[in-house]
Amino acid sequence: MYWELELILFIFLLITAVIALESKDLLVASVMLTMFSFLMALMFTTMGAVDVGFTEAVVGAGVTGILLVVAIYQTTYKTED
């Protein structure tokens, strides 16, 4: 129905996913995963699943980002591979 909006969201979703996979700094990767979650929530809302999108926005962009940052503080910033 809103295919133009979905196309733009898909393009940004792919960009954030590739940056999160290819980045050497893990803090950048976790922030990109948070952005991925928020774009995914916008896509769920566009498709009409408001409840699923709300859960994704709250859990993926709220709590998971904090827990990932704490996990990075306790290990290391750079990837080994």
Residues that bind another protein (CB under 8 A): 50-51, 54-55, 58-59, 62-63, 66-67, 69-71, 73-74
SS3 assignment, position 62? helix
H or E stretch at 49: none
Cβ contacts of 21 within 8 Å, gap of 6 or more: 29
Residue 11 or 66: which CB sits closer to another protein?
66
Of residues 9 and 69, the one with the C-beta less far from another protein: 69
Tell me the backbone φ, ψ of residue 68, rounded to 5 degrees: -65, -40
Shortest reach from residue 66's CB to another protein, in Å: 5
- The first and second tokens of residue 7, run together, are 């196309």
Nearer to another protein, 21 or 79 (CB): 79
d(CA 31, CA 37): 10
Q: At its nearest, how many Å lie between another protein and the CB of residue 18?
A: 27
Q: How far is the CB of 51 from another protein (least distance, A)?
A: 5
